[in-house]
Structure 1
Amino acid sequence: MTARTVLAIDLGTTAVKCALYDTTGHQVADAAREYQLGTPGPDRVELDVETYWAAIRNCLADVWRRAGARRGEVRALALSAQGETLVPVDRTATALRPAIVWLDNRATDESAHLAQRFSSKDLYETTGQPQMLAAWPAAKILWLTRHEPRTAERTHRYLLIEDYVLARLTGEYVTEGSLATSTCYWNFRTKKWWPEMLEAIGISQSQLPDIVEPGAPVGRVLPQIADELGLDRSTLVCAGALDQACGAIGGGNTAPGEFSENTGAAVAICSTLDAPRLDPQAAVPVHYHGIPDTYMFHTFSGGGIVLKWFRDAFCEPQSQLAARAGRAAYDVLGDLAATVPAGADGLLVLPHLQGAMAPENNEDARGALVGLTLQHTRAHVVRAIMESIAFVVRRNIDVFTSAGVAIREIRALGGGSRSGIWKQIEADVTGRPVVTTAEPNAAALGAAILAGVGAGEWATIDQGVDATVRVATTYEPQAAAAAVYEERYAQYVAAYDALAPYFAHASRA
């Protein structure tokens, strides 16, 4: 066994990231290439697939330059990918139109039509999704059938963005369950396409890729593609997983009782399940995991975007101070938050600047400062924002535990994991240890682990995790702060409940 590195390609919303790892989880080299999404009309978000492909090619070129001699050791690769981004292709696997990105909401009429045809109960029990949304590929395909019939007529396969890149790499049409779950035309219990939904959106099973397990070998990279991307022609291409599933794997969240939060612009939450267990309140989506025959509660809400908004709108002096000192502005904000006691001297923030996801699932919800007085300063608001995101995490933990899921600890991922004060607040609010890991890009590491399993480097995903995932810091709950937060959390929930009627009224004004 001579090849000793594995490659991850992370297909993000606004950037491609590529990272090369050795089999101890050490990152040999990485690179990123950003791109600008197209918005050709209201509620429309698209991107030419050649933009994705060029970003992959250029990103890999950067990785090879940085990897030096280790470039030739790549044994296998796998992808971490955004969900719901749809690419219709013809018989030559050529995209028939720009990809319809997951952020696209043009299919509102189609999602309403499908919601009338399929009850939310049937949808949840079959697909794990509590409600039909315009973002789901089922609604997008129905929109194409209605509004771009020529495209629909010519479509040989409807692919998600990971499927498209796998097809271009290998010539094979495959997908896997973690990505297929939110199509709303895949039965996550039987692991087969849902015939009734296919009929409703007007497509056949033959127009969809074959289902494989995450980490399954798909094929060797095509010779001409290997030459174009600088890969060896023997490189094995393996199925990857949804970015958040990859992040859970790369953060060590692989067994029931494990829970991870990834705080970037949003806070994405995953809790591993050993079966397709549903939330009794039908509020939280259930996804297939990036681990065969494993599932996860998965949702997200506003996260770092709230702190970014406050930084940009109200913290220019702190940003300038950080720049002069060669520090990140968020580090300076963290220093501010640390000067304020737990509970922010009575100030509460509702962080729902763009609506609330699970468990509230209220698109009308908005942000609020509650309890503001002359005593409060910029530092109080920063701390209250950090506390509010921890309350969002706690609220989802409460839903998960009510569904019978015992959560022992929290694995903290993403940019927010670098803030010690924020992670200590989270430990105190949730009453659970918060663990950060050494690798900052957990999604890329998770994809690399899947590639290693597919290539036989490790027999199981757990073996890959044991070999590569290392704990950096553990934040234990502090009794005094935890007692304060029990009361503050109850007040946070009560504040949302009290303002919910106002949000509903304001949305109709």
Structure 2
Amino acid sequence: MKLLMGLDLGTTALKAALFNLKGQLLAVSTQEYSLITPKVNFVEEREDIYWKAFADAVTDLLTQYPDARQSEIAMAISAQGETIFAMGEDGRALRNAIVWMDNRAQVEAEELREKFGNDTCYKVTGQVSFEPCWPASKILWLRHHEPEVFQKTKKFLLIEDYFIYRLTGRYATEGSLVCSSTYWDIINRRYWKEMLDYIGIRENQLAPVLESGEIVGQILPSVADELGLPHQLTVATGALDQAAGAIGAGVAKEGMFSENIGAALAICAPVSHPVYDPNGKLPLFVFPLKGMYMIHTFTNGGMTLRWFRDRFCDTELAAERAGLGDAYDSISREVGKVPAGSDGLIMLPHLAGSMPPDQNAKAKGVWFGFTLQHTRQHFMRAIMESLGYILRRNVDSLRAMGIDVHEIRSLGGGSKSRIWNQIKADINGITLETVKSKEAASLGAAILAGKATGVFSDIREAVHEMVSVKETIEPNPENRSVYDAGYEMYQELFHDLTGCFAKTK
């Protein structure tokens, strides 16, 4: 029996899932871990913590689905970007991994900006600017601050590369993940020699770049025995987490668009050729389908609703603790009592700054237009509508670049709310669909594994077989005018308050 495994390497949790060839979820295990934050702007993790989480997840999977022990399995990885390992000659990390959100390399990022310029960064790598979190900046920081580690490093690996190496003994990475390294040429699809020379590393210190959904090799027998996995396990290249999630939601052609509301609102829009934002704000990545690219960005999303839940929804949280239903479901029911447009209440949900296409690190959350008639339910709905407006800003920016968007696939925690999905469809005037699988990123990785091993002829066939639409939500034309007015007000507020934001800390 053939099974497909998707491994989703998240920031604070690892998730492993087993699927059959129809996309049915057979078993899933989530293993959480805590990050190490020794100083301000430092975020790290030990390699053994990642590996133990994986081992524990595999044990759990095999307990849930014992037949997997005797099955032929193909697996691939959905990976967080920018987390980097400095590996020694013995194949072990010389120090903790530096996690993607680590911002220690601020001086180094500025050094790269002065040397190459952000315009060159965008043209060559697809990233709109040099930032501390990108691996090139982190490697330069190691050269400056930990020269002994830098000199001893045999390989600099991203987190997907690391797991592939531990599983197979071979080095490999893939385009969607290495894009944000800022040492890879996204158009010519090769390492950027000038950048490697400047930060002081050689190409052979990095993993060879393959396409997503290519076989890397078989699991090492010793690792299979350690984990209890079958020796007939093939490891393939996967994809950046948001790209894998898009595939797992069925986004496999131009004109489709995925939105994922979790802690962040992340968007992915595949395109058939490289498209640069004339305003230089929307990053360009490689998409997992061969020859394709994607516009990918994110901003604060579910974080805002969670903030509101934790501080102002004691009743809903108490009911949840008493086993009377999920607090978010209760919030959604309350939102349904308020008319579209929240009776003029508008929110800017930038509790931790805003990201492209309206990038402003100093942006703040704002409530505007509330009166004596407004209730707590109005504030709940205004939060949901604010994320719909951000989604529309991204859609409008894509259209300004000549990219048509006619279908939205929704995934993540935000897709569980029927009323929120309707709000997003109404604000954008676009059909929105949700999918049955709750594990889109893991499913996307499994699809790539199936394509790599020949189970499917290509990714589109795999999507057809493994991804099922749960619900199709058409926009309600009766709400169009009120949301057009709300969207215009949202944009005016953001623009007019820019000067006020600049005066804040």
- After superposing on structure 2, the runs of 4+ consecutive aligned residues of structure 1 that deviate more than 3 Å are 322-325
Does 1:18 find its partner at 2:16?
yes
Aligned-pair identity (%): 44
1:35-92 deviations in whole A, cap 9, x for unaligned? 0000011100000011000000001100000012244224211111000001010122
Give 3-state SS (helix, strand or coil) of 1:297's partner.
strand
Q: Work out the CA distance in 2 between the residues paired with 1:74 and 1:237.
A: 11
Give 3-state SS (helix, strand or coil) of 2:238's partner.
strand
1:337-371 deviations in whole A, cap 9, x for unaligned? 11100000111110110100010111111111111
**TM-score w.r.t. structure 1 length?**
0.98
Contact 2:248/2:443 (<8 A) preserved: yes
Q: Work out the CA distance in 2 between the residues paired with 1:362 and 1:347.
A: 23
Contact 1:350/1:492 (<8 A) preserved: yes
Give 2:123's match in structure 1, choosing from 118, 122, 125. Answer: 125
Structure 1 unpaired stretches of 5+: none
Structure 2 unpaired stretches of 5+: none
Contact 1:323/1:329 (<8 A) preserved: no
One-letter code aligned to 1:170: T
Residue of structure 2 in register with 1:145 after alignment: 143
1:388-434 deviations in whole A, cap 9, x for unaligned? 00111000000000000000110000111010000000000000011
Give 3-state SS (helix, strand or coil) of 2:305's partner.
helix
Structure 1 residues 232-243: aligned runs within 5 Å: 232-243=230-241
Q: Work out the CA distance in 2 between the residues paired with 1:211 and 1:69.
A: 34
Note the C-alpha offset of 1:324. 3.2
Does 1:311 find its partner at 2:291?
no
Contact 2:125/2:184 (<8 A) preserved: yes
RMSD: 0.9
Q: Which region of structure 1 is more displaced relative to structure 2, 372-381 or 327-336?
A: 372-381
Q: Which region of structure 1 is more displaced relative to structure 2, 117-126 or 47-56?
A: 117-126
One-letter code aligned to 1:94: R
Give 1:54's match in structure 2, choosing from 36, 43, 52. Answer: 52
Give 2:290's match in structure 1, choosing from 275, 289, 292. Answer: 292
Residue of structure 1 in register with 2:359 after alignment: 361
Q: Work out the CA distance in 2 between the residues paired with 1:97 and 1:250.
A: 34
Give 1:477's match in structure 2, choosing from 472, 475, 478. Answer: 475
Q: Work out the CA distance in 2 between the residues paired with 1:49 and 1:406.
A: 42
Task: Label 1:74 to 1:355 Cα distance change in 2 as closer, same or farther (>3 A).
Answer: farther
Give 3-state SS (helix, strand or coil) of 1:506's partner.
coil
Residue of structure 2 in register with 1:279 after alignment: 277
Contact 2:251/2:258 (<8 A) preserved: yes
Contact 1:257/1:408 (<8 A) preserved: yes
Residue of structure 1 in register with 2:229 after alignment: 231
Structure 1 residues 119-268: aligned runs within 5 Å: 119-268=117-266
Residue of structure 2 in register with 1:414 after alignment: 412
**TM-score w.r.t. structure 2 length?**
0.99
Q: Work out the CA distance in 2 between the residues paired with 1:450 and 1:340.
A: 42
Aligned residues: 505
Residue of structure 1 in register with 2:43 after alignment: 45
Q: Work out the CA distance in 2 between the residues paired with 1:400 and 1:323.
A: 42
Residue of structure 2 in register with 1:85 after alignment: 83
Q: Work out the CA distance in 1 between the residues paired with 2:346 and 2:425.
A: 18
Give 1:113's match in structure 2, choosing from 111, 114, 123. Answer: 111
1:185-240 deviations in whole A, cap 9, x for unaligned? 00011110001111121111111110111110000000100111121112111011
Q: Which region of structure 1 is more displaced relative to structure 2, 313-322 or 468-477?
A: 313-322
One-letter code aligned to 2:384: M
Give 3-state SS (helix, strand or coil) of 2:340's partner.
coil
Q: Work out the CA distance in 2 between the residues paired with 1:415 and 1:474.
A: 17
Give 3-state SS (helix, strand or coil) of 1:165's partner.
helix
Note the C-alpha offset of 1:378. 0.9
Note the C-alpha offset of 1:325. 5.0
Residue of structure 1 in register with 2:334 after alignment: 336
Residue of structure 1 in register with 2:376 after alignment: 378
One-letter code aligned to 2:13: A
Note the C-alpha offset of 1:483. 1.7
Q: Work out the CA distance in 2 between the residues paired with 1:472 and 1:503.
A: 41
Task: Label 1:324 to 1:180 Cα distance change in 2 as closer, same or farther (>3 A).
Answer: same
Q: Work out the CA distance in 2 between the residues paired with 1:494 and 1:74.
A: 57
